[in-house]
Structure 1
Amino acid sequence: MSLEWEQITHITKVDPAKPLPSDLGVLEGTDLVIVGGSDGVTEENTIDAIESIANTYPSVPVFQEPYSAAHVSRETIETADFVAVPAVFNGDRTHFVGKHTALFTEIARKPEDLLGASLPVVGNFIESKGVDAVADLTETLVGEGYVVQHLDSAAASVSGVDTTYTPEQVAGAALATETFYGFPIFYIEYSGTYGGTDDVEAAARYLEDTQLVYGGGIDNQEKATAVLEAGADAIVVGDCFHDDPAQFRATIPK
């Protein structure tokens, strides 16, 4: 499946450890779905969530965004359209460069050397699932430049984030994402709390080809519109998808 980024303005974040709404028709109008979470996520519930969404809306791209190697397997790779891999600028070294360097070091080795390897993103499923899984994974990887701005969040805890960025630092991370790293996505993550538009405005000045994505506290049309008008290419809505589907519907741009 190819991605038409210019048509993506509304992204739904689905936590596979949480129950899905009884009527997945609430997703009508969303442009992309990201499946991932930090607590209670398993290979099984990840696949169940992806398949439920894909069966209801087969034309909507579905990303898996793993927080742990245990969340990824050959089956999840085959079920999702893409695997999104965050590089967290304000996280610890492991969550920015460490796991990615190790991953591609292993991929670059001869296939026989991969057997039994432990890769940070794909875990130790290589031995049991087969070397072909590595090739499949590299074809579907999508790098994300990431800034986590809510310290009291699971995303911050998992990524080793202990300080937030100023708008100027967010702008610098955005510029690095596009001009140095070449990732297709720059993601400003406020994880359950609304961060306003300052960071979005700062980052938008430096992005032309990279998609600027904002997530956090979007629970009505006014906030969604404000963030998009500030320069975001897309908003991510998660909590109210699970907690209040009617409120979630109000976030989808008309």
Structure 2
Amino acid sequence: MTLDWDGISHITKVDPAKPLPADISALEGTDLVIVGGSDDVTEANTLEAIRAIAETYPSIPVFQEPYSSDHVSRETIEAADFVAVPAVYNGDRDHFVGKHVDLFTEVGRAPEDLLGAGLPIVGDLIASKGVDAIADLTASLIGEGYVVQHLESTAAVTSGVDTTYTSDQVAGAALATETFYGFPIFYVEYSGTYGGPEDVEAAARYLEETTLLYGGGIDSREKATEILEAGADAIVVGDCFHDDPETFRETIPE
């Protein structure tokens, strides 16, 4: 299954550890939903959020973006359209190379060898579900090249990020994403702070096939427009969806 990115410019990041707004009609204007987070996230609340969104808006694609093996199950894979796994360029080895090598090492083994095995990304999923889970996982799993630019964010702490990138380094990571690693997504993540257009402009000039996402501090139509005009294919809006749905609506491009 592939996703047609044409027409996708506004993405909502839903934290399953936070309650959904009583009225989730604000999602009517978004083009895609990513469900994921770090603090207090579980497989159960992830699945609940995915199902609630999919049942209310079945035409909106839903990604699961797990940060822990505990967040993934056969049920979440079946409920989401894709499982998007971040590879954090400025994070520690586990969050760029280690987890992904271990994952595909286990996937490549015979099913009988997987009994009792654990995976850094999907935990005991394959060990407990066998060959059907292997097929489901490989069909729906996609990589995201990630740069985390807010050192005090949970995303930075979780991923072992201890330094931000210059715009030139962001551009280099974007170029590597498209020409070397072949990930379909490159994500510049400011995690609740507004980074402005500079990193987006740097990355955009190197990307033709790869989708460029920007997330962080988008709380107005002006900021959304500035980032999109800088070259992002889509903006990712999270905090204000949970905290202030009316402000969230203002981030949706006209």
After TM superposition, the score normalised by the length of structure 1 is 0.98
**Offset of residue 66 of structure 1:** 0.3
- Over residues 205-234 of structure 1, what are the superposed CA-to-partner deviations in whole Å (9 max), with x where a residue is unaligned? 100000000000000000000000000000
Q: How many corresponding residue pairs? A: 254
What are the equivalent positions in structure 2 for 1:10-159 lying under 5 Å apart? Answer: 10-159=10-159
Q: Distance in 1 between matches of 2:131 and 2:99?
A: 19
Between 62-71 and 106-115, the greater mean CA deviation after superposition? 106-115
Contact kept? 2:114, 2:130, Cα under 8 Å: no
Contact kept? 1:178, 1:184, Cα under 8 Å: yes
Percent of matched pairs sharing the same residue:
78
Q: Distance in 2 between matches of 1:2 and 1:178?
A: 17
What are the equivalent positions in structure 2 for 1:147-226 lying under 5 Å apart? Answer: 147-226=147-226
Q: Distance in 1 between matches of 2:140 and 2:240?
A: 28
Aligned to 1:247, the other structure's residue is in SS state helix
Aligned to 1:28, the other structure's residue is in SS state helix
- Residue 188 of structure 2 aligns to which amino acid in structure 1? I
Q: Which runs of 5 or more structure 2 residues have no equivalent in the other structure?
A: none
**Offset of residue 10 of structure 1:** 0.3
- Residue 53 of structure 1 aligns to which amino acid in structure 2? I
Give 1:232's aligned residue: 232
**Offset of residue 128 of structure 1:** 2.9
Contact kept? 2:90, 2:163, Cα under 8 Å: yes
- Residue 108 of structure 2 aligns to which amino acid in structure 1? A
Q: Distance in 1 between matches of 2:26 and 2:127?
A: 40
Q: Distance in 2 between matches of 1:161 and 1:196?
A: 20
**Offset of residue 114 of structure 1:** 1.5
Q: Distance in 1 between matches of 2:100 and 2:134?
A: 13
After TM superposition, the score normalised by the length of structure 2 is 0.98
**Offset of residue 2 of structure 1:** 4.1
Q: Distance in 2 between matches of 1:53 and 1:59?
A: 10
Give 2:249's aligned residue: 249
- Over residues 81-140 of structure 1, what are the superposed CA-to-partner deviations in whole Å (9 max), with x where a residue is unaligned? 100000000000000010000101111111211222111111023333333212211100
Between 157-166 and 4-13, the greater mean CA deviation after superposition? 4-13
Between 40-49 and 147-156, the greater mean CA deviation after superposition? 40-49
Q: Distance in 2 between matches of 1:3 and 1:107?
A: 23
- Over residues 134-188 of structure 1, what are the superposed CA-to-partner deviations in whole Å (9 max), with x where a residue is unaligned? 2211100111000000000000000000000000000000000000010110000
Q: Distance in 2 between matches of 1:209 and 1:98?
A: 26
In structure 2, relative to structure 1, the CA distance for the partners of 1:129 and 1:109 (3 Å cut) is: closer
Q: Which runs of 5 or more structure 1 residues have no equivalent in the other structure?
A: none
- Residue 113 of structure 2 aligns to which amino acid in structure 1? D
In structure 2, relative to structure 1, the CA distance for the partners of 1:47 and 1:12 (3 Å cut) is: same
Between 164-173 and 115-124, the greater mean CA deviation after superposition? 115-124
Q: Distance in 1 between matches of 2:246 and 2:182?
A: 37
- Residue 236 of structure 1 aligns to which amino acid in structure 2? V
- Residue 42 of structure 2 aligns to which amino acid in structure 1? T
Q: Distance in 1 between matches of 2:187 and 2:24?
A: 25
Contact kept? 1:114, 1:131, Cα under 8 Å: no
